Amino acid sequence: MAFRSCLLRKRVAEQIAERLSSGQSIPASQSSTAPNVPAPGQNSRSVTSIAAESEALLKRFDEMAYSTDAQRRGYLLEELLVRTFQLHQVDVVRSFKRNNGSEQIDAAFKLEGWHYLVECRWREKLADTRQVDGLRGQVQRSGKQTMGVFLAINGWSSHVPGNLKQNPDKSVLLMDGYDLRVVLEGRIALRELLLAKLTLFNIEGEPFVSVVQILAD
């Protein structure tokens, strides 16, 4: 199993390195209030270094699971997520405040011309509709080409996906801890996972499709 995980991590690393060597890049976000996170330098990353960094992030993710400080774990999750986006060459912005400091955005990223606001949660209690609605409100107060990604490591209550499906704006996508862990294991590239989820969301109206189903298909 460990050997197979190593091979999978190498495959994803090769995909990232190929994007770097071909000169593919995403321009940095333009924001006067949010600090930009620069993408790694073009043509400077080897397959080995990319795989090693992914493995280090996975180790950190597993260590965070044992933390009893929920607030600190949340901050560490935000940082880990930013580093994962950087590694996978997806333009990302760190946590920032907007609207005169009244709104806290955990992270934001740009993919295929759309902007995404991210809410990160790592609590023992399952997330509920109230928390998801908070992200929906932030999306609604943003530009028209903005959606939300609600990342809840321990998942959400059973009624959350159904409520999102009933909502006509279809603006929030769900991710759980297993989705993130499989990316860190190198079994799927982050960009590939996000695009697959978005396709199923936009065509079938499903706000959450597990990475297990995506890999099986």
Please determine, for residue 46, whether its predicted confidence score (pLDDT) is greater than 80.
Answer: no
3 state SS for 91-143: CEECCEEECCCCEEECEEEEECCEEEEEEEECCCCCECHHHHHHHHHHHHCCC
Beta-strand pair 92-93/36-37 = antiparallel
Least Cα distance to 64 among 83, 89, 49 occurs for: 83
End-to-end CA distance of the chain: 21
Token digits of residue 180: 């993130």
Q: Of the ranges 17-31, 37-51, 64-78, 173-187, which is most confident?
A: 173-187
pLDDT tens column, 72-112? 999 999 999 999 999 999 999 999 999 999 999 999 999 99
Length of the chain: 217
Which of 42-46, 84-88, 112-116 has the weakest average pLDDT? 42-46
Separation of alpha carbons 87 and 81, rounded Å = 10
